[in-house]
Structure 1
């Protein structure tokens, strides 16, 4: 009887325990779901913050100012040191026109020479002079070559045949073409120096009364590139003998390269360092962006190579990579524009880098020698670098790895040995901006002509850009240099590979109005 009474209680307790266990399991499941949802919330919020940062940076890059200079009032420890240099003022007044311009005088006289006061005759007592610029666009003229023929009177009477001798004319840059050295120079300077598409040049010449096709002008450019290529090869040999080089690369599109016309090829740019007295800039067209492209160009070179963080420059035999502080600073500028939460850290990093640039500006203004610049860096830049490195190590663990500030700090730490290297040698620059400036004319021109049709055209562009940018580096007028080359190169002896007298720093131009 007692057992009959206790059995239902036991069953009830067991059922209650099972229900409790089931509820506990559900509760554990709900707790796991809560944790998972919280993790998803954090991840989604992080993703939203990152997308908002990307949107903010994109808007800043599209609509904001392009300069990386910090605005006045921005926290910057380097600004605490007041400069003793006097402020620069812009020149005022009318511009004085250079003496080498051709001048024509226009005289203005009075038609009535009677004095209005007394009626007597006026006499001339001086003049008031002023000048204006006169520009004649696309002035086309024709060079008529008249080669006189000569014969011998004695042979005409005494011999069975008489030989006629024609006076020779200088060899032309494109044999059988109507292109004179001056015309060829105008076309290649317009395209490769002024980023003028050939179809616009056709229109300009048409307004001057000369009808030429775009295909003809393109053919002139390709043949001009072939003519100058031995000189550019000599410039490359000179470049690879220098103490240190700079390098960068940018994409280009060549329709005849590969199976896919929309695929990217690359224009690589190598140049002398910023203190070189005989600077050379070489453009090198390549179908790809692999390490093999850099190894091929730099074969045999031993020395420093300043570049961005692109890995293909690492591991090349004989090359010591040098980092670019402008690239590092740019990442902190991006973080400053994109992330409002990390502005303090971004400002702090930019402040360290600004102090390094302050020293470089001082060295440039004082025109310090490479040895003096090395001493300045050892004494003043190294302590800043060590302080910056300690700050980076501490800040790395306090920021989100995928944030802009996190990526900037990681990039700086990964590149640190290369970024430190500029302090080892006074001939090295603090950044690679000098090469970026030399590659900018190509990127500007690319916006106008969009692509190259053939590989030969791309290679000719590389050759002609090399001449244009080397002229700029040596501060000479590319048009007159091209004229000199197109007159001289066709008349050189075949096999003569000594181009010393034609190098930009040696050549004597008749009309160097740079």
Structure 2
């Protein structure tokens, strides 16, 4: 009896141990399977990130080799950048999970990081050296070298109050009191230094950060600057910079050729929001080898009536590259007192009408079943051949450009005109592709004007690029606060965009100009223009003050 009970207990124990071992084995297998799944997910994420990175590099290389292949090229690059950001973040999260799940997880390969710029200050932190050998305990150590690990770090900006002390002295002989004059501030009754004022201006008009957001950020840093205080400084600074704006406007309107365009800008009105306009006129002589510096001039208006471009370019004659907007027709009128302006139309604008009908990728994304127009596709190919010639002669003199246009581009342009007329004869009035064909044929002389004048470009992209900031800014500041607010935005955009066109940091330039503009004679104001500007060093700035 005793032996039977013991045998039963032993059997029960063995069964329990077997069950526990089985459960443990199942748990281990589940853990291993989970680790394998995490590693696979990490590898997939890494591969996805690399694929997106390579796609982005391919698109960039294509743009460098062949130029912008479509009007959606910039948007496509932005989308790829966003996809790359998301893939990189997801891949890193999965990689960390795989490392935690298994000690054998491998790190994914990343693109080689560029070295940090040499101009950044280096803070050297030397770790304590060992006093004895960790292996044998000997103190006879000699330095063989060192390994340096660089970490990029950000130091929060520092606020400070500059106290300018003006001592008073009295003459004991004549009792005259002597004292240095009060320090100069960029704005009347100002208490904001030029660097802070330039930061406020550039963030509002260059980075599209409204004053209320700036005020909130300053408050988090312990500085109380209300919106009304910031607005007061912005208005005063705009007035102080007005002389430079006038010089830039005169420079732009002295051009032989201008790029013109406009875009919408919401303007707050009584109980509603009006759709105003921002107009730009860009002087850029670099495509035909001009030596004069580039500049951009902006205007604001409540609407898009013809009177606005007529007023902007009153007294000016030259070549205007723009779209076919009818508001410019008054400038082309032969009865114009100053004489008519020469019209040159934008081939990119015309190409866009065909490209929308031949964009296979866009139709696939939208799930559209509409067939690709073979006429539109052929038109795009023919126009792109003309663009290829234009890229080769960019920057040459007008005379060289005319010779190249007559020899290489004119046969293609003539063939395109003949082909478009032949295709138009086969289409009905309601055909979709007939619209872009008619757009070109009805204005063919203005499209072909570049063949006989080397100063004319194929596109109006210079003006469209100049308006890109307002297109982005609309999403940030929603609307201009008033008509005068839109005018201030146009004036500051003139200064900031002109600085960018000349390869100058707008914020650094504004800070230096605000510090010097009141003390500089009127005759020397051109020295402060972006293309003439030479920043002063600290010692020179103190002497000038």
What CA distance in whole angstroms lies between the structure 2 residues aligned with 1:274 and 1:330?
A: 25
Confirm whether residue 351 of structure 1 aligns to residue 381 of structure 2. yes
Q: CA deviation at 1:179?
A: 1.4
The 5-angstrom pairing of residues 358-397 of structure 1 reads 358-364=388-394, 367-397=395-425
Cα RMSD (Å) of the superposition? Answer: 2.6
Confirm whether residue 303 of structure 1 aligns to residue 308 of structure 2. no
Contact 2:71 2:352 survives alignment (8 Å)? no
Tell me the SS of whatever aligns to 1:255: strand
Contact 2:185 2:191 survives alignment (8 Å)? no
Q: CA deviation at 1:115?
A: 6.1
What CA distance in whole angstroms lies between the structure 2 residues aligned with 1:363 and 1:96?
A: 36
Q: CA deviation at 1:112?
A: 3.3
Partner of 2:343: 321
- Choose which of 469, 489, 502 in structure 1 pairs with 2:528: 502
Q: State the TM-score, normalized to the length of structure 1.
A: 0.75
Q: CA deviation at 1:349?
A: 0.7
What CA distance in whole angstroms lies between the structure 1 residues aligned with 2:255 and 2:483?
A: 30
Q: CA deviation at 1:279?
A: 0.5
Cα distance per residue 1:42-86 (max 9 Å; x no partner):
xxxxxxxxxxxxxxxxxxxxxxx97259x9xxxxxxxxxxxxxxx
Contact 2:198 2:507 survives alignment (8 Å)? yes
Contact 1:170 1:491 survives alignment (8 Å)? no
Indicate the larger mover: 421-430 or 411-420. Answer: 421-430
How many residues align? The count is 417
The 5-angstrom pairing of residues 160-239 of structure 1 reads 162-239=175-252
Cα distance per residue 1:71-124 (max 9 Å; x no partner):
9xxxxxxxxxxxxxxxxxxx9633233333333222223243436357242233
Tell me the SS of whatever aligns to 1:262: strand
- Choose which of 264, 267, 275 in structure 1 pairs with 2:275: 264
The 5-angstrom pairing of residues 465-480 of structure 1 reads 465-480=493-508
- Choose which of 62, 65, 72 in structure 2 pairs with 1:67: 72
What CA distance in whole angstroms lies between the structure 2 residues aligned with 1:421 and 1:222?
A: 43
Contact 1:139 1:208 survives alignment (8 Å)? no
Contact 2:300 2:490 survives alignment (8 Å)? yes
The 5-angstrom pairing of residues 66-465 of structure 1 reads 67=72, 93-114=112-133, 116=135, 119-155=138-174, 162-256=175-269, 261-275=272-286, 276=290, 277-316=292-331, 317-337=339-359, 340-341=370-371, 343-364=373-394, 367-465=395-493
Q: CA deviation at 1:363?
A: 2.4
What CA distance in whole angstroms lies between the structure 1 residues aligned with 2:202 and 2:245?
A: 16
What CA distance in whole angstroms lies between the structure 1 residues aligned with 2:168 and 2:283?
A: 51
Cα distance per residue 1:18-54 (max 9 Å; x no partner):
xxxxxxxxxxxxxxxxxxxxxxxxxxxxxxxxxxxxx
Residues 468 and 402 of structure 1: CA distance in aligned 2, closer, same or farther (over 3 Å): farther
Contact 2:132 2:138 survives alignment (8 Å)? no
Residues 505 and 116 of structure 1: CA distance in aligned 2, closer, same or farther (over 3 Å): same
Instruction: Look at both structures and tell me which one has the larger radius of gyration over its CA atoms.
Output: 1
Cα distance per residue 1:344-379 (max 9 Å; x no partner):
001011011100111122224xx5344322221111
Tell me the SS of whatever aligns to 1:199: helix
Residues 207 and 247 of structure 1: CA distance in aligned 2, closer, same or farther (over 3 Å): same
Cα distance per residue 1:220-243 (max 9 Å; x no partner):
222222111221111111111122
What CA distance in whole angstroms lies between the structure 2 residues aligned with 1:425 and 1:169?
A: 57
Higher relative contact order (CA 8 A, sep 6+): 1
Contact 2:261 2:279 survives alignment (8 Å)? yes
Partner of 1:18: none
The runs of 5 or more residues in structure 2 that have no matched partner are 1-69, 77-109, 332-338, 364-368, 538-545
Contact 1:273 1:428 survives alignment (8 Å)? no
Indicate the larger mover: 269-278 or 318-327. Answer: 269-278
Cα distance per residue 1:111-164 (max 9 Å; x no partner):
434363572422334333343332234532222222222221323xxxxxx332
What CA distance in whole angstroms lies between the structure 2 residues aligned with 1:273 and 1:423?
A: 19
Indicate the larger mover: 202-211 or 134-143. Answer: 134-143
The runs of 5 or more residues in structure 1 that have no matched partner are 1-64, 72-90, 156-161
Q: State the TM-score, normalized to the length of structure 2.
A: 0.71
